[in-house]
């Protein structure tokens, strides 16, 4: 079977196109990120990184107000000097078991042009220059990847794309749509 037949096949064609798109996107992102500072944090037993420029603030989680009838990835609201910020637990979005934040948990406040989020982490490891290339995340190669995971580095740290995270439709909570 040649490539054209595989692409025209209704079962394999969409999978191959999705894999190619995910891998190409990761290569483009990685090429521009070498040497940029990254912040590395722990979540569960794994290590994650994101561009340090996306992190506005790091602070202890402290108290937060749980909200009723929200998806499991929303821990609640945090008051940061009079601003209410939604605290997000990435574990359910990554398909990992979700636990309540442990004592000593940290909050990474990330922002884009329009809004800000608080990412709940177990702890912050370091801020350092990112000097290695990223390998595609294994889930991206299988066609079942999370769009905001850029890849994995030699230390097995998953690198996150905050811009893609903000654009993820899973983060939109719409009470009207959920009730229909």
- What's the average model confidence in pLDDT over 52-81? 91
Q: What is the residue-wise DSSP string for the chain?
A: --HHHHHHSTTHHHHHHHHHHHHHHHHHHHHHHTT-EEEEEEETTEEEEEEGGGEEEEEE----B--TT--TTEEEEEEETTEEEEEE-HHHHTTPPP-PPPTT-EEEEEE-SS-EEEEEESEEEEEEE--SPPBPPHHHHTT---TTEEEE-TT-EEEE-HHHHHH-GGG---HHHHH-
CATH of domain 3-169: 2.40.50.180
- What's the average model confidence in pLDDT over 71-96? 90
* Domain limits, the chain: 3-169
Q: What is the pLDDT of residue 178?
A: 47
Residue 58 has pLDDT above 90, yes or no: yes
Q: Is the pTM of this model over 0.85?
A: no
Residue 18 has pLDDT above 80, yes or no: no
Q: In the structure, what pLDDT confidence band is assigned to residue 9 with cuts at 50, 70 and 90?
A: confident
């Amino acid at each position: 079977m040649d490539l054209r037949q595989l692409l025209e096949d209704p079962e394999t064609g969409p999978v191959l196109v999705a894999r190619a798109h995910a891998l190409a996107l990761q290569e483009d992102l990685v090429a521009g990120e070498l040497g940029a500072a990254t912040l590395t944090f722990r979540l569960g037993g794994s290590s994650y990184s994101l561009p340090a420029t996306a992190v506005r603030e790091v602070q202890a989680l402290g108290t937060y107000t749980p909200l009723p009838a929200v998806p499991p990835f929303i821990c609640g609201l945090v008051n940061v000097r009079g601003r209410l910020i939604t605290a997000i637990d990435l574990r359910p979005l990554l398909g990992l078991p979700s636990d309540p934040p442990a004592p000593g948990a940290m909050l990474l406040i990330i922002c884009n042009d329009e809004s800000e989020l608080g990412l709940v982490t177990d702890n912050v490891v370091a801020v350092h220059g990112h000097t290695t290339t990223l390998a595609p995340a294994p889930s991206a190669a299988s066609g079942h990847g999370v769009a905001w995971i850029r890849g994995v580095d030699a230390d097995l740290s998953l690198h996150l794309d905050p811009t893609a995270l903000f654009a993820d439709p899973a983060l939109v909570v719409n009470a009207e749509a959920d009730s229909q």
